[in-house]
Amino acid sequence: MADTERNPWRRFLALPNESRTKTLVMAFIVAAVCALLVSSATVLLRPIQSANRAAEEQARIEALVRGIPGMADLLEQSGGTLSTVVVDLDDGRAAQDVTIDTLDAALADTANWTALEAGDDIAGLGQRPDYAQIFLLRRDDAISLVLLPMTGQGYGGRIDAILAVEGDMNTVTGIAITSHSETPGLGGRIEDRSWQSSFPGTELHDDAGDLRFSVARGEASTAYQVDGITGATRTTRGISNMVRFWLGPDGYGPLIRAIRRGEF
């Protein structure tokens, strides 16, 4: 019987299931064991998953470049790979002391992030890194294509994308969405080729040099607009703000001026 049992574990198991102690302790044990299981699986598998994601991103970049008409040939000519540069976003030059290998470590340090003021922070980021990895494609020493990774806030969460811009830094050649958590079927359609196909040819700046790009509410009506998605107003506004922020003075603005001056 329970009172002759010395082992506290057995005494606990012998309690009636209805007892409050047993209910609470069982709930705690189940929760603790499950928490342990879930967290160890997450921690153990994280390196493999992030390697997968990196490979996926690389594949998407290549798919983006190959999807642009004529780019696959260009890519073959330039050796089949893109050159990768880490740029310092503040002055728009190639970063001196941060390389691709040390970029992750540098971005883990909060000193390498700049807090954004509410008025400037149209993409809803709160802060932005000081260094970013961009991709350049050259032909005959001139830059023919620049791939700019960017991040914005959609309806369901963060949207990561890569915008491809021609060497004139004004004409969009394509966009690839690398990750998002928008509603499947509505905002999630930003993944669709049919929607992304309205990007090529869109212009970013007008003749005066002002940033004019936006996502239209319905169909695009000017050369600076791309089509909107019906039923996904917040997602398309997020994309619009993301592109406008990253091409603006707090994003790749200094880099764009540097490339136009021919510094790359």
Partner 1 sequence: MATRSDLWTTLTEPLIRQNPVTLQILGICSALAVTTSLATALTMSVSLTVVLTLSAVIISLIRRHIPDTIRLIVQIVIVASLVIVIDQVLQAFFAEISRALSIYVSLITTNCLVLGRTEAYARHHAPVPAAVDAFGNGLGYSLILLVIGGMRELFGRGQLFGWQALPLADAGGWFTPLSLMLLAPSAFFLLGGLVWAIRAMLPEQAEAPEHEPPADVRAAE
- Tell me the C-alpha distance between 227 and 236, whole Å: 9
Q: Angle 130-244-59 (CA atoms, 0-180°, nearest 5)?
A: 70
Whether the CB-CB separation of 151 and 107 falls below 8 Å is answered with no
- Tell me the C-alpha distance between 152 and 158, whole Å: 6
Binding mask 151-190 toward partner 1 (x if CB under 8 A, else -) reads ---------------------------------x------
How many angstroms separate the Cα of 98 from the Cα of each of 212, 226, 235? 32, 35, 33
Q: Angle 226-238-223 (CA atoms, 0-180°, nearest 5)?
A: 20
Give me 247's structure tokens. 């091409």
Region binding partner 1 by CB under 8 A among candidate stretches 24-32, 67-75, 133-141, 211-219: 24-32
Which residue, 29 or 105, has its beta carbon nearer to partner 1?
Answer: 29
The reply to whether 2 sits near partner 1 by the rule CB under 8 A is no
Which residue, 2 or 34, has its beta carbon nearer to partner 1?
Answer: 34
Binding mask 25-64 toward partner 1 (x if CB under 8 A, else -) reads -xx--xx--xx-xx--xx--x--xx--xx--x--------
Instruction: Name the phi and psi angles at 139, rounded to 5.
Output: -135, 125
Region binding partner 1 by CB under 8 A among candidate stretches 16-24, 71-79, 221-229, 251-259: 16-24
**Residue with token string 């990561």:** 160
Region binding partner 1 by CB under 8 A among candidate stretches 15-23, 79-87, 93-101, 113-121: 15-23
As measured in angstroms, the least distance from the Cβ of 72 to partner 1 is 22
**Residue with token string 């700046």:** 205
Count of residues that bind partner 1 according to CB under 8 A? 23
Residues that bind partner 1 (CB under 8 A): 13, 17-19, 22-23, 26-27, 30-31, 34-35, 37-38, 41-42, 45, 48-49, 52-53, 56, 184
